[in-house]
Structure 1
Amino acid sequence: MKQPAKEFTLLASVSEFARHFGFPPPTHPLLTVVDLSQHRNPPPTAGPAYRELYIIALKKNLKGQIQYGRGAYDFNAGVLAFYAPGQLCEATDSVDISEMSGWLLAFHPDLLHKYPLGKKIASYGFFSYQISEALHLSEREELVLDGLFGNIRYESGQGIDAFSQEVLVSQLEVLLSYANRYYHRQFLTRRPAEHDLLSRFEELLAAYFAHSNEQPLPTVQHFADALHVSPAYLSDMLRTLTGQNTQQHIHYGLIEKAKQLLLSTSLSINETAFQLGFEYPQYFTRLFKSKTGLTPAAFRLSAQ
């Protein structure tokens, strides 16, 4: 029997968000910071919610295991998670939050519209990560972020004046810069987990191009789904460990497979393109030339 679709609440403002989850009314119309140690028992009526807000949550003293990629880990230390507007969120009972502490920061995109951060925030890939790919913090990193959250909370509680928004946005930018630094640290220090992910990606990529039959062009989403991570996380991890993102790895595999076909078969350039999954041969020719400096025809001729 088909299950009925879940109803969800649209939270379009910071006030609606605070009211839905039982947080205190915000002291600023576009931003609120909540001390999570004071809110360990969410209201039972808080069902799934679709939020038009950015959320940054620093949670500490969680009990239980949190899924991270394909593995589960115990995290009593801090966990920093990011949510972009438009993400559906639903509470889970898999982790005990009875002793949770930390901070939750919610802000509306309108807060950033007049500032460069409004455009820059899209470049922070961690807002596209899944909750299983949260940032796991050291004790020293927790202390730094505690101070930043505290500063933002203090400023948001002051009376609004001509400088309020500028100060809040500048403090948010500092917070995001630290988060970016810590995420790249995580890719480097969590070597067993990340290098295992890298190895599995390389195996999947090699297996994909080992097939000689025509198949669609591989996508970043295809490999992210196969590895149970988000596309943004996979690309950031690969860029940190190898210097190239997922799409660049895919292009390298395509070009190597193209070279093999051009040198070992009598397929025409168009047939080679279709064999590789290109719908339009001219796109294959442009990509090949951009990566090798030669057209496919010129490459085949140069090898004779």
Structure 2
Amino acid sequence: MYTLNSQQPVPIHPFERDEVTGSKLFTILRSEGELPYEEDLLIPHRKAYYLLVFVKHNRGRHWVDMTPYERKDNTLYFTAPHQILVKEAATPFWGTRLTFTDEFLALQQNASIRELPLIQNPQNGHELLLTAADGAFVEEMLAKIETEHNRPGEWQHRMLTAYLTVLFTYLSRLYTEQFTGAEPSADKLLLKTYQAKIEECFRELHEVGAYASQLHISAGHLSEVVKAQSGKPAIKHIHERLVLEARRLLFYTSSSLKEIAFDLGFADASYFNRFFKRETGVTPAEYRIAIRKMYQ
């Protein structure tokens, strides 16, 4: 598997304007055995958008963060913009791809969609296994979405929103069945806000108090609520996000430990080394050697 050298930042693939409607927010593309994946998808990268892929038939292996997936037929795969993706080889693909941006989810008519478990993805899932009946339903809804997508007119946006809401709601029900405890509750709003703020600022802000200031509440109240709702101290959420990003960079790039430490907001590489070992039990160098040896 290709890894990036120390001079290559993880590339971010921008959202491509939809060829049919010109939309910069949403696309749908059906494939009947083509090789739609360009060479740059074989290099570790992030996408600047959400991606849902319904696989009717495809073979091969791809990675999401540090986890490999052998692609299965009649399966849905989904990723969010912050994750690192890479394919091991281009293979013929039968299925449908949906892509959409944060701006699409921010539209008022899509408010109910963006709160669904499939989109929020509290369990950090990626692969949704479908029964034959589930696959048939998903394929039918995607066909309706594609038909409406190719039919511009006064009612197009409302119809697309309606079909997408039905599809994502159906998939969210399957998500909560396959990922135990995935159903979000209303009383976790502060926790979700805190986690979203960490996603936005984890490179710059490493202390709970800094996030409390951002959220205009006391550090004590934030810590109390986060611990009660998640079962983990508030600082642990920050540390876990830093460790996740460190693991990604150690696995997918050849950046030095000093470069990774600086990228994650650590002024001192030795402190980053101690932090990583405290959180994982191994040093960054030991982790890099072990994880690459595992998947050689």
Give TM-score, length-normalised by structure 1: 0.49
Kept in 1, the 8 Å contact 2:76–2:128? The answer is yes
Partner of residue 78, structure 2? 82
Q: Which amino acid aligns with 1:14?
A: R
Q: 2:126 maps to what in 1?
A: 133
Once the two structures are TM-superposed, the CA of residue 50 in structure 1 deviates from its matched residue by 4.1
Letter in 2 for 1:143: A
Structure 1 residues 134 and 289: alpha-carbon distance in aligned structure 2, compared to 1, 3 A threshold: closer
Cα distance change, pair 288–76 in 1 and its aligned pair in 2 (3 A) = closer
Distance 1:67 1:185, change over 3 A: farther
Preserved contact between residue 83 and residue 128 of structure 1 (Cα < 8 Å)? no
Distance 1:139 1:63, change over 3 A: same
1:4 corresponds in structure 2 to 7
- Considering Cα pairs closer than 8 Å and 6+ residues apart, tell me whether 1 or 2 has the greater RCO: 2
- CA distance 1:176–1:107, shift in 2 (3 Å): same
- Describe the SS at the equivalent of 2:39: coil
Out of 171, 176, 188, the position equivalent to 1:184 is 176
Matched residue type, 2:128: L
Structure 1 or 2, whichever has the larger Rg, is 1
Give the SS at the match of 2:6.
Answer: coil
Change beyond 3 A, Cα 1:128–1:103: same
Match of 2:181 among 238, 246, 258: 238
Residues 168-189 of structure 1 show CA distances to partners (whole Å, capped at 9, x for unaligned) of 11111011011012223334xx
CA distance in 2, matches of 1:43, 1:288: 44
Q: For residues 157 and 182 of structure 1, do their structure 2 counterparts lie closer, same or farther at Cα, with a shift above 3 Å needed?
A: same
Of the three residues 159, 162, 168, the one matched with 2:160 is 168
Matched residues, number: 193
Secondary structure of the residue that 1:175 maps to in structure 2?
helix
The Cα RMSD (Å) is: 4.4
- Alignment partners' CA distance in 2, 1:283 and 1:9: 33
Secondary structure at the counterpart of residue 21 of structure 2: coil
For structure 1, list consecutive stretches of 5 or more residues without a partner in the other structure. Answer: 16-24, 188-236, 249-278, 291-304
Matching residue within 50, 53, 60 for 1:57: 53
Identity of aligned residues (%): 15
Task: Give 2:26's aligned residue.
Answer: 31
What secondary structure, in the 3-state scheme, does the structure 2 residue paired with 1:91 have? strand
Specify whether residues 130 and 103 from structure 1 end up closer, same or farther in structure 2 by C-alpha distance, changes over 3 A only: farther
Counterparts of 1:59-138 in structure 2, within 5 Å, are: 59-63=55-59, 76-84=72-80, 86-93=81-88, 97-98=91-92, 100-118=93-111, 120-128=113-121, 133-138=126-131
| AA of the residue aligned to 1:59 | V
Give the TM-score normalised by the residue count of structure 2: 0.50
Letter in 2 for 1:79: T
Gaps of 5+ in 2: 192-217, 230-296
Determine the C-alpha separation between the residues in 2 that align with 1:150 and 1:167.
13
Paired AA for residue 27 in structure 1: T
